[in-house]
Amino acid sequence: MSIDVAVIPAAGRGTRMRPATRVVPKALITVVDRPAIQYAVEEAARAGAKEAIVIVDLDAGHLVAQHFNLGGALPGLEGIHVRPVVQEEPLGLGHAVGEAAHMVGDRPFYCLLSDNIVRPGFDVLPQLAAGSDDGTVSVVCLRRLHDAMLSRYGVVIPASDVEQDLLDLAGAVEKPGVAEAPSRLGLVGRYLFTPEILAILDKLPPGFGGEIQLTDAINQLGQAGRLRGHIADEDLLDVGTPEGLLQASVCLGRHRFGPQVFDGF
Ligand code: G1P
């Protein structure tokens, strides 16, 4: 089964990017020559998605719609239909993904956090699909984390040895910190979900930070034996912080213009 729909949560308030995000929604912050959100839509299109459901806050809704649809499709995005959905209250990442439920229906779907951009040539969605038994088991993208990152990422509970970068998972914990971390394998913003996660999200109480956490729903998939992890070859870029935005701009700019762009700089 090919996965034809992607959910792209982009409704965060961008507090780590103030003052840039006082007016400009964080999804529309420019990285080299296009807004951050466009990289995620392009990646979903490369993986074969025909529909990108972008979850935005009230302020960003019409701007995102205009960006993608004004005057026809953007070059390279003719084959994907971008459909903004407004999350009216900032109740958490899990709540944001749940807002797409009525449009996703009973299809498996990719989920891409727009703060994270894959490095050129290191797409991971095809590997998630390959590990999903034809879209019937959820697969999350993982990276090995340093100590300091264990309080900034969701961390998974392994249930098997790693075989060819794929392992079974028994659950996940949101931002556990070093002392409580069940492993060093972290959730890095790319997921393939079966529609069962939408039913879990629908009933999920608030968790870490008082927000409805996607990681708590992932944990339930793991407890039910319905979750795998794929360990990615490369870090994703993180444009959710000023330092990360600078690194992403350098990485993507070098790729676009060649390393000589910094000659004599
Ligand atoms: C979110 C998720 C977290 C994940 C991270 C990846 O956290 O809640 O599980 O590891 O994205 O970037 P946030 O960065 O929104 O705090």
Whole-number Å distance between alpha carbons of 71 and 214: 35
The single residue listed with the structure tokens 């972008």 is 54
Tell me whether residue 263 is in a domain. Answer: no
For ligand 1, whether the C-beta of 217 sits within 6 Å is: no
- Separation of 47 CA from ligand 1 center, angstroms? 22
For ligand 1, whether the C-beta of 216 sits within 6 Å is: no
Residue from 13, 55, 93, 213 to probe ligand 1 pocket by mutation (most atoms less than 8 Å from CB): 93
| Phi, psi for residue 193 in degrees, rounded to 5 | -115, 140
Which sign, positive or negative, has the C-alpha torsion 170, 10, 231, 151?
negative
For ligand 1, whether the C-beta of 113 sits within 6 Å is: yes
What's this model's pTM, rounded to 2 decimal places?
0.96
Residue 85's domain comprises 5-252
The single residue listed with the structure tokens 């708590």 is 216
Tell me whether residue 97 is in a domain. Answer: yes
Closest ligand 1 atom number to CA of residue 189: 6
CATH number for position 204: 3.90.550.10
Tell me whether residue 23 is in a domain. Answer: yes
Tell me whether residue 260 is in a domain. Answer: no
% of the chain residues with pLDDT over 90: 84
Specify the amino acid at residue 52: A
Tell me whether residue 257 is in a domain. Answer: no
For ligand 1, whether the C-beta of 138 sits within 6 Å is: no
The single residue listed with the structure tokens 């300091």 is 148
User: In what helix (H) or strand (E) does residue 228 lie, and over which residues does it extend?
Assistant: strand 227-231
**What pLDDT is recorded for position 115?**
93
User: Which pLDDT tens digits describe the chain residue by residue (265 residues)?
Assistant: 689 999 999 988 889 999 999 999 989 999 999 999 999 999 999 999 999 999 998 888 889 989 998 878 898 899 999 999 999 999 999 999 999 999 999 999 999 999 999 999 999 999 999 999 999 999 999 999 999 999 999 999 999 988 889 999 999 999 999 999 999 999 999 999 999 999 999 999 999 999 999 999 999 999 999 999 999 989 999 999 999 999 999 999 999 999 888 887 7
Tell me whether residue 51 is in a domain. Answer: yes
Structural domain total, the chain: 1
The predicted-structure confidence for 116-161, as pLDDT tens digits, reads as follows 999 999 999 999 999 999 999 999 999 999 999 999 999 999 999 8
CA 162 to the chain's CA centroid = 23
136 CB burial (10 A radius; 0-12, 13-18, 19+): exposed
Tell me whether residue 259 is in a domain. Answer: no
Residue from 124, 150, 152, 157 to probe ligand 1 pocket by mutation (most atoms less than 8 Å from CB): 152
Instruction: Indicate which residue's Cα is closest to atom 15 of ligand 1.
Output: 93
Tell me whether residue 175 is in a domain. Answer: yes
